[in-house]
Amino acid sequence: MNEQLRLLIDLQAIDTVIINSKAKISAIPQQIASFDGPLKAAKSSLEKLEQQLEAAEKKKKDRDQETNDLNDKISKLKARSSEIKNNKEYQAHLKEIETTEKALNSSEESIKPLLESIEALSKDIATKKDELKTEEDKIKLLKEDLSKEVAEAENELKVVIEKRRAFVKQLDKNTYDLYMGILKTKRGIAVVNTSNEICNGCNMHIPPQIFAEIKTNAEINHCPQCKRILYFSETPEAAS
């Protein structure tokens, strides 16, 4: 096999590892960020429940104050009853007491659903807080694991890049420039295997005469369609 072609095949394998590693490293921050969406939604849901609880507690506080005020009013009205001498005024006074007592009953009745709501909301909030804490702990561990993956991938990438430098030194400058030009325009795949007169880069048919030349692996040949560098191997796996 042509020595420069052999080096290009090995270099392509190295560059494939580098490209995949860089893609993995760049994708991990997005994975980490993706955890924040559901977590923010859970926190927002908890905040809404806490706001509802705060509103219910404020309403209950207002009702308690209203109840106290009505009780005070009734006590004062009853205390004045003995002071009223006029029958007409007394009847009006009794009517006012009755009206105030009805208002008191209504106010006390309105407190019951508020108490039930406060109890239910408090339970929901406690449950949500537990669920949120569990989710936060889980996501923290996932983020730590992914951060470790980034560090490991970056270290492995440094080793592979250093290995790549050794291969590049063995290549002719024109051959390397040719390879890099194709690599940039063909989505990181410049060298591919061919078998059965098919380019495994673009899956197009290769004319028999050109395929016969490629099978010798004696020179650097290109696919007539995609212009990638081609070599021949009995099995497609040899292309990787």
pLDDT tens track for 12-52: 999 999 999 999 888 888 888 888 888 888 899 999 999 99
Asked whether the CA dihedral 161, 164, 166, 168 is positive or negative, the reply is negative
Q: 87 and 126: one domain?
A: yes
In contact, 143 and 151? CB cutoff 8 Å:
no
Q: 116 and 182: one domain?
A: no
Q: 56 and 115: one domain?
A: yes
pLDDT confidence band for 235 (50 / 70 / 90): low
Tell me, yes or no, whether 107 lies in a domain: yes
Tell me, yes or no, whether 197 lies in a domain: yes
Tell me, yes or no, whether 159 lies in a domain: no
Q: 144 and 203: one domain?
A: no
Q: 114 and 216: one domain?
A: no
In contact, 225 and 199? CB cutoff 8 Å:
yes
Q: pLDDT tens digits for 72-107? A: 999 999 998 888 888 999 899 999 999 999 999 999
Tell me, yes or no, whether 239 lies in a domain: no
Tell me, yes or no, whether 224 lies in a domain: yes
* Three-point CA angle 139, 155, 26, nearest 5°: 50
CATH of the domain at 56: 1.10.287.1490
3-class SS string, the chain: CCHHHHHHHHHHHHHHHHHHHHHHHHHHHHHHHHHHHHHHHHHHHHHHHHHHHHHHHHHHHHHHHHHHHHHHHHHHHHHHHHHCCCHHHHHHHHHHHHHHHHHHHHHHHHHHHHHHHHHHHHHHHHHHHHHHHHHHHHHHHHHHHHHHHHHHHHHHHHHHHHHHHHHHHHCCHHHHHHHHHHHHHCCCCCEEEEECCEECCCCCECCHHHHHHHHCCCCCEECCCCCCEEEECCCHHHHC
Q: Provide the token pair at 152.
A: 């490991």
pTM for the whole structure: 0.63
Q: 121 and 216: one domain?
A: no
Domain residues for the domain of 88 are 29-149
Q: 80 and 122: one domain?
A: yes
In contact, 229 and 179? CB cutoff 8 Å:
yes
What pLDDT does residue 196 have? 87
Task: Give me the half-sphere count of Cα atoms (radius 13 Å) on the Cβ side of residue 3.
Answer: 5
Q: pLDDT tens digits for 139-177? A: 899 889 988 988 998 999 999 999 999 889 999 999 999
